Structure 1
Amino acid sequence: MNETQTITSTQSVLRDIRTEITDNDAKEDVNRYVPAEHRPRESNTSSFGALAHLLKASLSSGVLAMPVAFKNAGLITGIIGTIFVGLICVHVTHIFVKTSQALCVDIKRPCLGYSETCYSVFKNGPKSVQKFASIARFLADCSLAVTHLGACCVYIVVVAESFKQVSDEYCGPSWSVSAFCALTLIVLIPLTQITKLKYLVPFSTFANFVWLTSICISLYYCLRKSQPLSKRNLSTSFSGFVNFISTSLFAMEGIGVVMPIENEMLKPNQFLGCPGVLTIAMSAVVALFAFVGFTGYLSFGEDVRGSLTLNLPHDEILAQVAKILVACVMLLSYALIFYVPLEILWKRIKNKFHENNHRICVACIRLAGTVFTVGLACAIPRLELFMELVGAVCLSILGITFPVIIETVFLWDKDMGKWKWILWKNTFILIFSILVLISGISCSIQTLFQKL
């Protein structure tokens, strides 16, 4: 065989190999599992609809808490810190959703919730961590439940303080905030006995309109009472910055609602990316939160409260309307937030009761949960303290620690990038989360002993 024939034969073999590889890749692409194609027909939310849902979920009581976060940090540090916390929240949410979507392809599941993702990543991860799958799901469920219960306590305190301010203006009974917290049971007990989520959805639509109205009214008063920059702190202490981080996490971190929204999308691949649903929504949220925090602290200074509406004038009808509307919406929203921890608890214990007793058991658990959150709010009616504790303890774990651990476990036997940069990046974020957790708890406990 001469040299020309050898070269020709070699080229022919290489073409055959390339053709075989291409055919195999094509077959693999054809057989590749696409989760979106297997989702229920009810999962038909458009990208615009998902954006609207994510914006609505983000514009809750947190936006009205940003001025007190700026009080803790100062104007300049507050703006820089808001952008920093926003970037952290966007990134960890992005990697968690990305991991969940990739995992759905691997295990051929249409979609996964938050705790299901935590469980499945460990269950299908390296053998050394598979035994921790159930623990991961349990910790995820606990974090979700405690976060929502903490938010319920925040709502109760805001409702109580709002009604107390209006009552005091019209010479009502001079009761304490704790007494007004206890009075919320009159509305909350029957409201939390609604077990079907579809009956609570209309309240959400009303709440969105009221939130927007209240924010506009609050900003009107902020701009009307704006003060010179020289009268406000541009930066504060380390402990103040820690409290800022905790409050900002409480306000901005919404990973608990992200997965349900993504799971309902018709085209989930449009949730991530640039620009994707997550990027657009969080960019708007960070900008709005920074603006509200800056103007709120600039206007009211060291007197700013845990909810901006509590700083509005007591003797003006427009301000009173805003306070009452926010209080009413929080009462209604309480039932929606309360639904999550009760569902988590009930799924874990319902098999311990006879099926005929399920309805009475659910009613008793809901009653006990309502009384517990109201009792906690009565015992510690400190709005800022609740937000700092929930942000430092729950959301640092739920929103930061879990996502970076989940991505690391999922990619452990895969590609960690050049020089394993993903591992180093996640290690840095994990250390930051632990520092927020420890320092946040210590500062909150110190504040608790100072104020009680």
Structure 2
Amino acid sequence: MVERILTRIGVLILSVKCVFFYRLLFSIMNLAKGALGGGVLAGHVAYMTAGYFPALILNMVYGVYMCFNFYILVMSAQRLCRRCHVASMTYPDVGEAAFALFPNPKVARWSTCYRKWIDVITCLNLFGSCAAYQLMVAKTIKQLAENTQESIIEGRHGSYFGRFSVRLPNLRLYIAFMIVPFIIICLITEIKYLAPFSIGANFVIAIAIIMTISYALQYNPKFENMVVANSFLDVIKYTGMAVFSMSCAGVVIPVENNMKDPKKFPIVLGCGYIFIIGCVFFCSFFGYVAFLDKCESPITMNFPLTTGPKVLKGLIAVMIYVTHAVNFFMPFNCVYFYLKPKFKPENQYKMELVFRALIVIIISLVAIAFPSVDALMGFLGCFCLSNMAFICPNTIYVLVHYERPGKNRKFMIWRAVLLSLFGVFILFCGSFVSGKDLIFTLFKKKQEDATTPAPDGR
């Protein structure tokens, strides 16, 4: 009798541990999914840009730096929830409350402006990501349609039936052709319908990383002809792309809000960033090893045009197509929150669909104007994520904990200043360098992202 009772207690304890582990794993995967979108598929270009030595070091440094900043952001959010007696807050809520509850009225009056600023940079980052994803899809379709490893913005000449020679469409035309399909998927107003596809996208990315490692060991087993380091400006370009590929600023607070035990969030954040840094490293480093100076975004563009890789290219295009709709969901809701009260209740749903279509068209026009995935990701990483991942968390932390007993104010302020100064440097210098590249793609009539086919038919 006693043995049966002990056995049942043991089974119960094991079941509780399994449920606890499953919930933590689910939260870790949600956190990682927020970072590992299309950005991870461009990391090898960032390694090529900076050189492998600074890229390897900064890959780790930026990952740890972002992990710490998101940790103090969530700790601040938890304290504000207790002060405001609410169950959860969004990122803009946290920013607004941090200013509003500060004892100095001169600081508190900026609470609404700060909330709107976070809304603006969040929307700019996610809408800009959608433009980068449209470019990735268009480039993949263009490569599969033309059946060539060569990737250029301008259309190339194709020969048909041995006698007809035609000029194939420009990359910008492929983006224009995709506007209607992107509008259709973005008209879905319930994100739950996209969730299963989003989960499947993780498996496709995992396959792409495994194939990247395989090609690295096949094409360059001795790790030869790799550039050790490039110029300082190239390292700054790397910074924007690296931050873009590793940041989960938009999901870090929602993941914590949905946890059964938010006190376990540091475990989720630490494990999540170990996984994120590892995935970015394997895809980026081995992608650079395999394709060297022929690196192209997304990484599947460098894969050979045989049956298996072609299928993967198509799956990646579908994955990015769905990720575009998932990324579009949150910033659109933020924008429509301000627009919705201007319409009558019976017209609000119709106007929502109209504005969804209009914003997708605007995003497509941005992609058409700036058809460079790498420059666009670099600019978004430097301008938007330097605020969301570096500057805002430290500002919020100081405001929330300034009056808390037992805190060393001088140390807290100096730490926040030093950590924020790095973000400010990335904001101005990185945005300037990446902005120049964007302007270059706008005015240059003909540009090649990867000018020649990879050797040996790759």
Question: Does TM, normalized by the shorter one, top 0.5?
Answer: yes
Structure 2 distance, partners of 1:73, 1:356, is 54
Ranges in structure 2 where 5+ consecutive residues have no aligned partner = 1-21, 149-157, 161-166, 445-458
Q: CA shift at 1:449, angstroms?
A: 4.3
Task: Choose from 362, 373, 380 the match for 2:370.
Answer: 380
Corresponding residue number in structure 2 for 1:222: 216
Question: 1:301 is matched with which residue: 265, 280, 292?
Answer: 292
- Counting aligned pairs with the same residue, the percent is 25
Structure-2 separation of matches of 1:70 and 1:118: 34
The unaligned stretches of length 5 or more in structure 1 are: 1-44
Distance 1:216 1:174 in 2: 33
Secondary structure (helix, strand or coil) at the match of 2:220 reads coil
Q: Does 1:162 align with 2:156?
A: no
* Distance across 2 between alignment mates of 1:416 and 1:64: 45
Distance apart, 1:413 and its partner CA: 1.9
Establish whether residue 130 from structure 1 lines up as the match of residue 108 from structure 2.
yes
Partner letter of residue 373 of structure 1? I
Of 372-381 and 50-59, deviating more is 50-59
Residue correspondences, number: 405
* 1:210 Cα deviation after fit: 2.0
Alpha carbons 1:47, 1:266 under 8 Å: kept: no
* Secondary structure of the structure 2 residue equivalent to 1:271: helix
Question: 1:292 Cα shift?
Answer: 1.9
Task: After TM superposition, give the deviation of residue 392 of structure 1 in Å.
Answer: 0.7
* Aligned partners of 1:65 and 1:307 also within 8 Å: yes
SS of the residue corresponding to residue 232 of structure 1 reads coil
C-alpha separation in 2, matches of 1:107 and 1:186: 44
- Which sits farther off after the overlay, 229-238 or 63-72? 229-238
Equivalent residue runs for 1:272-421 within 5 Å: 272=266, 276-313=267-304, 315-415=305-405, 417-418=407-408, 420-421=410-411
Matched, 1:108 2:102: no
Partner of 2:9: none
Counterpart residue identity of residue 280, structure 1: C
Contact 1:126 1:409 in 2 (8 A): no
* 1:405-444 mapped onto 2 (5 Å cutoff): 405-415=395-405, 417-418=407-408, 420-444=410-434
Q: How far apart are residue 371 of structure 1 and its match?
A: 0.5
Where does residue 87 of structure 1 map in the other structure? 64
Equivalence for 2:154: none
The 2-side partners of 1:416 and 1:219 are apart by: 50
C-alpha displacement of 1:419: 6.7
Q: Counterpart of 2:236?
A: 242
Per-residue CA shift, 1:11-35, capped at 9, x if unaligned? xxxxxxxxxxxxxxxxxxxxxxxxx
The structure with the larger Rg is 1
**Retained in 1: the 8 A contact 2:212–2:286?**
no
- Counterpart Cα distance in 2 of 1:446 and 1:146: 18
TM norm structure 1: 0.86
Report the TM-score, using the length of structure 2 for normalisation: 0.85
Q: Deviations over 1:183-238 (max 9, x none)?
A: 21231121111111222222212222222222222332233212644511111111
Q: Is the contact between residue 93 and residue 255 of structure 1 (CA under 8 Å) also seen in structure 2?
A: yes
- Separation in 2 of the partners of 1:247 and 1:425? 25
Q: Once the 2 structures are TM-superposed, how far is the Cα of residue 418 of structure 1 from its aligned partner?
A: 4.0
CA distance in 2, matches of 1:356, 1:209: 41
Superposed CA deviations along residues 138-166 of structure 1, whole A, max 9, x for unmatched, are 01111111110011011000000001111
State the partner residue of 2:164. Answer: none
Aligned to 2:151: none
1:11 aligned residue: none
1:113-149 C-alpha deviation (Å, 9 max, x unpaired) = 1111111111111223110110111011111111100
**CA distance in structure 1 between the aligned counterparts of 2:140 and 2:103, rounded to whole angstroms:** 52
Instruction: Give the alignment of 1:3-152 within 5 angstroms.
Output: 46-127=23-104, 128-152=106-130
Whole-Å separation in 2 of the counterparts to 1:63 and 1:357: 40
For 2:270, give the aligned amino acid.
T
**Cα pair distance change 1:436/1:319, threshold 3 Å:** same
Aligned-residue offset at 1:416: 7.5
Aligned to 1:153: 131
Q: Which runs of 4+ in 1 moved over 6 A?
A: 170-173
Deviation at 1:103, TM superposition (A): 1.2
Report the aligned-residue RMSD.
1.8
Take 1:369 and 1:424, find their aligned partners in 2: how far apart are those partners? Answer: 41
